[in-house]
Each structure stands twice: as structure tokens, then as C-alpha cells.
Amino acid sequence: MALRHLTPLSPFTTLTRRLPSFPTLSSTTSRRYNRFSFSVMASASRKVLVPIANGTEPMEAVITIDVLRRAGADVTVASVEKQLRVDACHGVKIVADALISDCVDTVFDLISLPGGMPGASTLKDNNTLENIVKKQASEGRLYAAICASPAVALGSWGLLKGLKATCYPAFMEQLSSSATTVDSRVQQDGKAITSRGPGTTMEYSVTLVEQLFGKEKANEVSGPLFMNPKQTDQFIVTELNKLQWTCASTPKILVPIADGSEEMEAVMIIDVLRRAKAEVIVASVGDDLEIVASRKVKLVADMLLDEAAKLSYDLIVLPGGLGGAQAFAKSETLVNLLKKQRELDRYYGAICASPALVLEPHGLLEGKKATAFPAMCEKLTDKSEVESRVVVDGKVVTSRGPGTSLEFSLAIVEKLLGHEKALEIEVVEESVSNLLAYHSQVRKIKRELEKLNHLAVIEQSEMRSVLREFSKSQKHCRLPLRISDRPRSIAMAGREETARGGGDIRGLS
């Protein structure tokens, strides 16, 4: 058995990898003021607006909707296009609940803008949405944005003026003209909440829950998500019977979905694999292309399963969700596809309820170690690895739930397309905790150097005088450092003096 520590953005070493983290709320959310919360009953409903557009980042939209609905929020998904269906990034198709024009007269407790391009620009250019959000801010209610939208939309509307905010790294310069930029994964200042990108969406969403319903509800909701409980950005993928996965240069992957599928898991799998340039076929296990997922997000498949079954695949991967997994288990077509996949010695995997409800009862985990959603692990014959977040056993990969979906997807990318491709996707997925810390440290060091150089300029006349006096008293003693008549930086002085054979400035206090 091999335990592979995954550590983002580190150089490639024997068994070291990096995957994105989902730190707990307390360690990742920065606030400028004393935190406030609403004292409400757990069942109290809060109205939330999540606008979407063509080019919206689907993970950011769907995770936010899912998590807020788990908390009991009344979430309206509103299209700013002329029709309800939007074509989000990476070919994910989402059907909204309403048009934005239908929402003008509704008072919302929170408005949350997903990112993605050109989706964020489309949101920014929609006058109806702009007026709704400006009214939200002026009346002192919560408003939030993630990824490109803090800079592209909120910043452009003047709603972050004088506030601390964060966004997707590529838009930080643009954001700096309309807000005080910070490197936090989630940043709250007053009624404005901002976050960085897909890899921070889950903790961003839990932050929104906390502000709507309180800390207790946020903890209640985050538990079943199976977010990373450790204060670290390292994950361990357990790999047994290790072998090299091989496939065509462009792997073909089937992702079935059904009514009741867990939308976060489905969308993260589809999104990440398509980012990796895999050919992903999303097939509906039902009579219609449109399915209603477990938290009532409406997704549209590429084709029906009967049509998809005519094709062959390098990998079949099942999202979870109780209703969806039950539908998968009852689908003779899908079960036969999975059995054929095993017979042909090809790859398959599942997450959440699906390992226990689909793979296990049909003998597809025979001789394999696996994991599943905690409440379902009793159904697994071999429970020796149920505590692992991601398990790869030969040609079978399994994982636990929504909070492990991103690393599950990246583990698949790594197995099919290699470590470098997984790292490439990681950076896009905003698994940049160490990178953010690195840049913060660089800025801190630069500030300290600027202070030192400033002091050096001020004190050079005094230093020159002291060294000259020392030279007079020690005629045969070589000066440790030459001070020029023109002020220079400490670093430059050190380099020049070293080149001349003089002393090292680091020896001076």
C-alpha cells in the first residue's frame, strides 16, 4: 500500500503531490470588524439570489446554491440571459429558476455572484442586476462575489470602495483600483463577502451560511460536506496495487447523472476533467436530458444513457447523492456498462453513496479496498480504508463526498494524464494557499528591505565617519566595507564589496 502525500505547487518528487485544500472556516476567513451573526431558529428561511450567465464558472455557482439550500435558504437561481438555460464554462448546462427581471421586486437577505469569464462580464453589464445589487448594498444587506466577479462586477459598480476584498489572482490588479486587496481565501468587510475561486467556493459558501443563520448552522452544514478537518493543505491519496493507467491521448470519460445526483460532485468531476482536456460525456439515466439534482439544481446532460451506451470509455465515474445512486443501481444499462468496463480491464470509479449502493452490490468492488460517504461505509465488505479521503486500488478509484470531490477529480487527472497535468489543473482550481502565503511573505520581505535600505541611506554619513576614524587608528587594518560617496542599497553594496574582496555586509549589525 502506498500513501501519497499531495502537496500543491511543490517540485515533483518520488511520491509527493499537491492537491487543493478546504481549510476549516475559522482558519481561512478574514474579517475587519467584530463578527456579527443572526440569532435565528435553524429552520428560519432566508432569501438568496444567485444570478448566472453564459460563461459562469459552474463550480462556483452550483456549490454555493447547494450549500445554501442545505442550510435551509430559499435560493433563487436567476438567468441574466434571455432564456432560463445557460451554458456555463466547460460545457456545463444549468437551467435557472427565473429570469433576473422576475426578481426586481423581491427583497433578498443575500445576493451572491459566481465568477467565470465571460460570465462575470455579462453579470456586470446587466443593468437590472446592477440595480438590484446596488439597492441591496445601500439598504445594508449582505452581498457577495467570488473569482472574477469581485473585481469585474462589484468593483466596477463601486460597491467595494474603502473595503478589503479578494478575488481570483489574475484580477487582483484590477480589484486594487476599487478596493483594498488582501490575500485571504475568504474576506468579509462589513456586508461584503469575497473569495478567490473554485477551490475556495466551499468555505466561501459556509461563510455565507454563517452570516445568514449563525455559527451553529454553519457547523451543522459543513459536517456532512466532509470538508478537510485538518489545518493543512496536504491530502493523502491511498493507493494500493499501484499500476500505470494508460489511455488515448484524449481520454473518453462517461459521467452519468440522474434525478437526485449530488450536483456538487457531478459538476466538480465534469468541470475538472474537461479542464484537463478529457472528452467527457454527461449522460442522463432517465427519460429526459434535464435532471433535478439532490438540492434542486437543474442540469442538462449531453445525451441519454441509451445513446451513450453505444460508445466505449476509458473511464466511467459515478457522482453520488442518495437518489442518484439508487437510480444508477436500478439502471440495467449502466450496471452492464460498468461490468463490461471491468471485463475489458478498464477504469471506473465512484464517490459518496455510489461506491456502496452501486459498485458494491454488483460485485464491482470484489477484492478491492474502497471508501464511501461515512453513513454508507457499513455496506462495504472491506472497510479497512473507509477513513481515507481518496482510494485508488488498481483500476478502481473511490472517494467520500462533496468535500473530497476536487481531490478525487484531480487524482483521476493525475492517473490518466500525469502529474504535470494535475498540477496545471490545480493552479487553475485555486489550490494556491502556499502560493498566496509565499507572495505575502515576499511582500513582507520587500517592505523590510525597503526599511533597511532607507536606514542605510540615513546612516551612511555616520557609518562613513566611524569607519574613517577606525581606519586612522588602525593603519594596517583593512576596512571591512567600502562606503561610496553615493548612497546605494544594502544588497548592491554587499555585492560590490564581495567582488572587491572586502568584507560581507551581513557581518555588520
477 or 268: which carries more pLDDT confidence? 268
Least confident segment among 174-178, 225-229, 271-275, 282-286: 225-229
Mean pLDDT within 404-410: 93
Supply φ then ψ for residue 45, to 5 degrees: -90, 140
Supply φ then ψ for residue 469, to 5 degrees: -60, -40
Domain extents in the chain:
23-225, 235-428, 439-507
pLDDT > 90: percent of the chain: 69
Half-sphere exposure of 389 (CA within 13 A, CB side): 28
Return the pLDDT at 472.
61
Return the pLDDT at 402.
95
Least confident segment among 58-72, 155-169, 413-427, 453-467: 453-467
Alpha carbons 467 and 477: distance in angstroms, whole number: 11
Burial of residue 36 (CB within 10 Å: 0-12, 13-18, 19+) is: exposed
Q: Which CATH number fits domain 235-428: 3.40.50.880, 3.40.50.300, 3.30.465.10, 3.40.605.10?
A: 3.40.50.880
Q: Is the pLDDT of residue 300 over 80?
A: yes
Alpha carbons 454 and 443: distance in angstroms, whole number: 16
Mean pLDDT within 95-109: 98
Return the pLDDT at 226.
85
Question: Collapsing DSSP states into helix, strand and coil, what is residue 277?
Answer: coil
Q: Helix (H) and strand (E) counts for the chain?
A: 17, 24
Q: Is the pLDDT of residue 500 over 50?
A: no
Give yes or no on whether 23-225 and 235-428 have one common fold. Answer: yes
Q: Which CATH number fits domain 23-225: 3.30.160.100, 3.40.50.880, 1.10.3720.10, 3.20.20.70?
A: 3.40.50.880
Q: Which residues pair with 164 in a beta bridge?
A: 180
Return the pLDDT at 38.
33
pLDDT digits (tens, 9 = 90+) for 430-478: 444 444 444 445 555 666 676 676 666 656 666 666 666 656 655 544 4
Q: Which residues form the catalytic set? A: 352
Return the pLDDT at 454.
65
Half-sphere exposure of 13 (CA within 13 A, CB side): 10
